[in-house]
């Protein structure tokens, strides 16, 4: 399960949620195309921006990212908009940008993607 902040929140605002469709296109010699879905449903994606984090919150998030080994690991994620739990999600990148500017002023941005079923 993706870690929560001390407040119990998963993310702060402004936040971004999007749907992604995987469509493949085959182009034929005569110039026509055939399009088809690579998966039966849309995949959810959340961009999580967090500011004013303390050392403990940053350490928890850092440990979670390391334990999942970037895009390799899978975890459950609760959508903050509607409370739906998505049981198989992963990070969109293997690299994370954590910054600690001063005491209680850490920040990070990470993208969580729903995995294909």
> Tens digit of pLDDT for each residue in 26-79?
999 999 998 887 777 788 899 988 888 888 888 888 888 888 888 898 999 998
* 112 vs 20, more confident: 112
Domain ranges across the chain: 16-114
- Taking the whole predicted model, whether its pTM rises above 0.85 is answered as no
Determine the average pLDDT of the residues in 104-114: 84
The Cα 87–Cα 50 span in angstroms is: 22
The Cα 58–Cα 37 span in angstroms is: 38
Specify the long-range contacts of residues 97-101, CB closer than 8 Å, at least 24 apart: 98/58, 98/61, 98/62, 100/55, 100/58
Q: Which single residue is written with the structure tokens 């399009």?
A: 35
pLDDT confidence of residue 117: 64
pLDDT confidence of residue 88: 92
Q: How confident is the model at residue 18 (pLDDT cuts 50, 70, 90)?
A: confident
| Model pLDDT for residues 72-86, shown as the tens digit of each residue | 989 999 988 888 999
CB 62 within 8 A of CB 86: no
């Amino acid at each position: 399960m993706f870690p929560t902040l001390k407040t119990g929140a998963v993310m702060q605002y402004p936040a971004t949620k999007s749907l992604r469709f995987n469509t493949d296109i085959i182009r034929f010699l005569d110039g026509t195309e055939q399009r088809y879905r690579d998966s039966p449903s849309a995949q959810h994606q959340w961009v999580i921006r967090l500011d004013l984090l303390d050392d403990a919150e940053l350490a928890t998030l850092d440990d979670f990212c390391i334990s999942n080994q970037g895009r390799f690991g899978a975890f459950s994620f609760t959508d903050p908009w509607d409370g739906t739990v998505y049981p198989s999600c992963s990070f969109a990148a293997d690299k994370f940008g954590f910054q600690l500017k001063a005491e209680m002023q850490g920040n990070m941005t990470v993208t969580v993607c729903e995995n294909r079923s």
